[in-house]
């Protein structure tokens, strides 16, 4: 172990993290939970807003999932409901860009999507965990067809420009070799008696057998080339038929190469509770969810309504809004109560008379920076040439990851990959600063280091930088522990006749589930106040 601690580029912290990745995602899950992420949904079924609101009216600001959830449930409970929405469509960040769509970022950057019919990119949410019970229940109730989303594909790539000469490695190779080498190390430690104080002799024997099985070790507890471990990491020559059918085992990567590649860090993305199997996506695009909600409450929505002022007094709430199709035209609408789902980055710039505590909370939450780029190719070369069907490849290049479509497998013709997905950090800010065309060009340049076919097969692309999104000014609420402790409760409390909802008002930031649960909580408390009034 002393030798390992001195391996180039590997310190004790990295080694422990590497072992944690090999051993599973439990430690990571607990850490994420402490940060307010990775929470399992607390949804227990449809809410029941019992009692007669006696004609009370509610104004909802924003027709994203939080706003439309509130509208659907409040109208069913007997409230008079109306919604103001900035965009000319429902869904908010629940959004899909297809061929023919025209999108405009701040600074006037306008793009027309050139994707072929049936192809699309989801610039916002793009996958649904199996434990997001509320969202899945609404999909069931609203008739949204779901299909599997492939997060882990062991045949996808892990890539580091400084490792293995820049050659991408298959996920399964790094995953299997890491597990094997760690198992061998732990077996040696056990055999030398280093665990005598922690584990009984009987349990040590069981542990050794478990390591032998889990780590694919031989009878001497060694991890080395064999037919057996090739059944996990893949063969140099696959088993076949006839006289030439004998397989040739593959050669595992050395422990030193695995450690110093840093590729093991990406394995945590597959162990993370948020990304564990089974994940889902709506068939045909993520906006199928927003459209399904709109079929229920679309008649309540006023589109192209940019809220510029919110007033409340003891009797009600009034919102002033500009019709974006008629600049300078200001209208107003009033109601007894208001559910405001406007992103905090935008809301903080709108005049609104709420108490100091809520006002401070609104200003306290910065939003994460994120950029996505969709690339259309002439053919599905990732399937045809490299046998990658869905899943994600991770890289240290600024694009960070490539996600392959989880639908229409083996279809002939063109396809769209998510050629870049950044989340906070220098890469995200770098791409945000580029023009949309520059982002697409850079993605093709970077992606060609993983898939050489990129440059020949590329046809067109489209990008979206969330900090240049006029209706959000960022991707999602990015709470710190300190800010959540000081401001979260004040953000969620009802202030006079106004209550806030959205992913920013949840412990599931950046997830559609967080938006829905926040909305259900907000309208339950609002209904209780109405009934008590």
Domain boundaries, the chain: 2-34+171-261, 57-92+289-365+478-532, 97-155+278-285+368-468
Name the phi and psi angles at 370, rounded to 5.
-150, 145
Share of the chain above pLDDT 70, in %: 92
Per-residue confidence band for 42, with pLDDT thresholds at 50, 70 and 90: confident
pLDDT at 311 over 70: yes
Q: Between the CA of residue 453 and those of 131, 379, 446, what are the distances in Å?
A: 37, 10, 12
374 CB neighbour count, 10 Å cutoff: 25
Mean pLDDT of 71-94: 98
CA 94 to CA 471: how far, in whole Å?
Answer: 12
Q: Residue 320: in which H helix or E strand, if any?
A: strand 317-323
Nearest in space to 115 (alpha carbons), one of 350, 440, 502: 440
Residues 6+ apart with CB under 8 A from 307: 61, 84, 86, 319, 320, 321, 342, 350
pLDDT confidence of residue 11: 52
Residues 6+ apart with CB under 8 A from 409: 383, 389, 390
182 CB neighbour count, 10 Å cutoff: 24
Q: May I ask the CATH class of domain 2-34+171-261?
A: mainly alpha
pLDDT at 368 over 90: yes
Distance of CA 263 to the CA centre of its chain: 21
CA 389 to CA 407: how far, in whole Å?
Answer: 9
Buried b (16+ CB within 10 A) or exposed e, 418-429: bbbbbbeeebbe
34-43, 249-258, 311-320 — which is least confidently predicted?
A: 34-43
Q: Count the helices and strands in the chain (H runs, E runs).
A: 19, 23
Is-same-fold flag (57-92+289-365+478-532; 97-155+278-285+368-468)? Answer: no
pLDDT at 236 over 70: yes
| CA dihedral of 195, 197, 203, 207, whole degrees rounded to 10 | -10
Collapse the DSSP code of 335 into the 3-class scheme (helix H, G, I; strand E, B; otherwise coil) and give the result: strand
pLDDT at 152 over 60: yes
pLDDT confidence of residue 256: 97
Provide DSSP, 387-412.
Answer: ---S-EEEESSTT-EEE--SSSTT--
Q: What is the pLDDT of residues 486-507, one digit of tens each?
A: 999 999 999 999 999 999 999 9
Token digits for 383? 């399937």
The CATH number assigned to the domain with range 57-92+289-365+478-532 reads: 3.50.50.60
pLDDT confidence of residue 197: 86
If one compares 436 and 9, the residue with the highest pLDDT of the two is 436
Mean pLDDT of 358-367: 98
**423: which strand partners?**
370
Per-residue confidence band for 17, with pLDDT thresholds at 50, 70 and 90: low
Q: What is the pLDDT of residues 266-307, one digit of tens each?
A: 999 998 999 999 999 999 999 999 999 999 999 999 999 999
Per-residue confidence band for 410, with pLDDT thresholds at 50, 70 and 90: very high
Name the phi and psi angles at 430, rounded to 5.
-60, -45
pLDDT confidence of residue 44: 85
If one compares 44 and 96, the residue with the highest pLDDT of the two is 96
pLDDT confidence of residue 527: 98
First to last CA, the chain: 68
For the chain, what is the radius of gyration of the CA atoms? 26
pLDDT at 124 over 80: yes
82 close to 59: Cβ distance less than 8 angstroms: yes
Helices (H), 272-315: 287-297
Per-residue confidence band for 27, with pLDDT thresholds at 50, 70 and 90: very low
pLDDT confidence of residue 118: 96
pLDDT confidence of residue 21: 56
The third-level CATH classification (topology) of the domain covering 97-155+278-285+368-468 is Polyamine Oxidase; Chain A, domain 2 (3.90.660)
Residues 6+ apart with CB under 8 A from 34: none
Token digits for 402? 């490539």
If one compares 127 and 45, the residue with the highest pLDDT of the two is 127
pLDDT at 187 over 90: yes
For the chain, give the mean pLDDT: 93
Looking at residue 25, the DSSP 8-state letter turns out to be: S
pLDDT at 318 over 60: yes
- CA 423-425-428 angle, 5° bins: 55
pLDDT confidence of residue 45: 87
Q: What is the pLDDT of residues 87-115, one digit of tens each?
A: 999 999 999 999 999 999 999 999 999 99
Mean pLDDT of 84-88: 98
pLDDT confidence of residue 40: 57
60 close to 333: Cβ distance less than 8 angstroms: no
Nearest in space to 469 (alpha carbons), one of 123, 65, 127, 125: 123
209 CB neighbour count, 10 Å cutoff: 11
Q: Which segments within 430-500 are labelled E, that is strand?
A: 458-465, 498-500
CA 52 to CA 76: how far, in whole Å?
Answer: 11
Per-residue confidence band for 15, with pLDDT thresholds at 50, 70 and 90: low
Nearest in space to 520 (alpha carbons), one of 155, 93, 259, 133: 133
Q: Between the CA of residue 49 and those of 78, 133, 200, 298, what are the distances in Å?
A: 9, 19, 56, 21
Nearest in space to 520 (alpha carbons), one of 42, 9, 26: 42
Token digits for 147? 């299909």
């Amino acid at each position: 172990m002393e030798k390992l601690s001195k391996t180039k580029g590997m310190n004790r912290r990295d080694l422990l993290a590497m072992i944690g990745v090999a051993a599973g995602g439990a430690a990571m899950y607990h850490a994420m939970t402490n940060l307010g992420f990775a929470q399992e949904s607390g949804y227990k079924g449809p809410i029941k807003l019992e009692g007669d609101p006696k004609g009370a009216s509610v104004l909802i600001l924003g027709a994203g999932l939080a706003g439309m959830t509130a509208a659907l449930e409040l109208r069913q409970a007997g409230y008079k409901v109306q919604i103001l929405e900035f965009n000319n469509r429902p869904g908010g960040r629940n959004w899909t860009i297809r061929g023919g769509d025209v999108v405009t970022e701040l600074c006037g950057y306008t793009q027309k999507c050139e994707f072929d019919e049936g192809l699309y990119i989801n610039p916002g949410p793009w996958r649904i965990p199996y434990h997001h019970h509320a969202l899945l229940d609404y999909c069931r109730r609203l008739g949204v067809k779901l299909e599997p989303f492939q997060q882990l594909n062991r045949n996808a790539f892990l890539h580091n420009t400084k490792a293995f000469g820049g050659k991408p490695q298959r996920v399964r190779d790094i995953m299997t070799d890491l597990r094997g080498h760690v198992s061998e190390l732990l077996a040696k430690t056990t055999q030398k008696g280093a665990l005598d104080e922690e584990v009984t002799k009987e349990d040590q024997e069981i542990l050794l057998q478990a390591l032998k099985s889990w780590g694919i070790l031989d009878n001497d507890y060694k991890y080395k080339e064999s037919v057996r471990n090739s059944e996990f990491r893949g063969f140099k020559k696959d088993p076949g038929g006839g006289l030439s059918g004998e397989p040739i085992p593959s050669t595992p990567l050395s422990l030193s190469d695995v450690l110093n590649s840093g590729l093991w860090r990406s394995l945590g993305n597959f162990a993370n509770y948020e990304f564990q199997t089974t994940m889902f996506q709506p068939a045909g695009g993520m906006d199928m969810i927003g459209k399904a909600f709109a079929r229920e409450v679309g008649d309540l929505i006023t589109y192209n309504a940019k809220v510029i002022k919110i007033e409340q007094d003891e009797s009600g709430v009034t919102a002033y809004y500009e019709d974006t199709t008629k600049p300078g035209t200001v209208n107003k609408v009033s109601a007894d109560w208001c559910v405001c789902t406007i992103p905090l980055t935008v809301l903080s710039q709108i005049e609104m008379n709420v108490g100091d505590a809520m006002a401070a909370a609104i200003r306290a939450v910065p939003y994460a920076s994120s950029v996505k780029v969709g690339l259309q190719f002439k053919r599905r070369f990732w399937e045809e040439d490299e046998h990658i069907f869905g899943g994600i490849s991770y890289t240290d290049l600024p694009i960070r990851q490539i996600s392959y479509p989880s639908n229409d497998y083996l279809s002939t013709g063109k396809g769209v990959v998510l050629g870049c997905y950044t989340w906070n950090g220098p890469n995200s800010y770098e791409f945000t600063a580029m023009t949309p065309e520059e982002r697409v060009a850079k993605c093709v340049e970077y992606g060609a280091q993983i898939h050489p076919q990129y440059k020949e097969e590329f046809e067109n692309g489209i990008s979206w930088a969330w900090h240049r999104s006029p209706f959000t000014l960022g991707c999602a609420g990015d709470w710190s522990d300190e800010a959540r402790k000081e401001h979260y409760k004040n953000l969620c409390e009802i202030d006079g006749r106004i209550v806030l909802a959205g992913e920013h008002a949840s412990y599931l930031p950046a997830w559609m589930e967080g938006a829905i649960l926040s909305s259900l909580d907000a309208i339950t408390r609002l209904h209780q106040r109405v009934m008590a009034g």
